[in-house]
Amino acid sequence: MRARLTIALGGLLTAHATPALAADLDIDVEIPQLRVAEYHRPYVAVFLEDAQQKHAANLAVWYMSKDTAEGHGTKWLPDLRQWWRKSGRTLKVPVDGVTGPTRPAGQHALHLDTRHPALRNLPAGDYTLVVEAVREVGGRELLKIPFSWPATRAQSGQAQGSSELGKVTLRLAP
Classify residue 25: in a domain, yes or no: yes
Classify residue 163: in a domain, yes or no: yes
Classify residue 110: in a domain, yes or no: yes
Classify residue 155: in a domain, yes or no: yes
Please tell me the distance from the alpha carbon of residue 95 to that of residue 99, in angstroms, as a whole number: 5
Please tell me the distance from the alpha carbon of residue 49 to that of residue 127, in angstroms, as a whole number: 6
SS3 of the chain: helix, strand, coil, percent, to 5: 20, 40, 40
When divided into structural domains, the chain yields a total of 1
Classify residue 6: in a domain, yes or no: no
Q: What is the pLDDT of residue 1?
A: 43
Classify residue 113: in a domain, yes or no: yes
Contact between 139 and 12 (Cβ < 8 Å): no
Classify residue 68: in a domain, yes or no: yes
Classify residue 161: in a domain, yes or no: yes
> What are the pLDDT digits (tens) for 46-66?
999 999 999 999 999 999 877
- Which residues on neighbouring strands pair with residue 45, listed in sequence order? 61, 132
Contact between 16 and 29 (Cβ < 8 Å): no
Contact between 88 and 127 (Cβ < 8 Å): no
Closest CA to 156 of 133, 172, 140, 132: 172
4 band by pLDDT with thresholds 50, 70 and 90: very low
What mean pLDDT is predicted for residues 15-30? 71
- Residue 45 sits in which domain range? 20-173
Pick the range with the lowest mean pLDDT from 18-32, 35-49, 75-89, 119-133: 18-32
Contact between 114 and 137 (Cβ < 8 Å): no
What mean pLDDT is predicted for residues 90-117? 92
The 3-state DSSP class for residue 68 equals strand
> What are the pLDDT digits (tens) for 70-88?
556 788 899 999 999 999 9
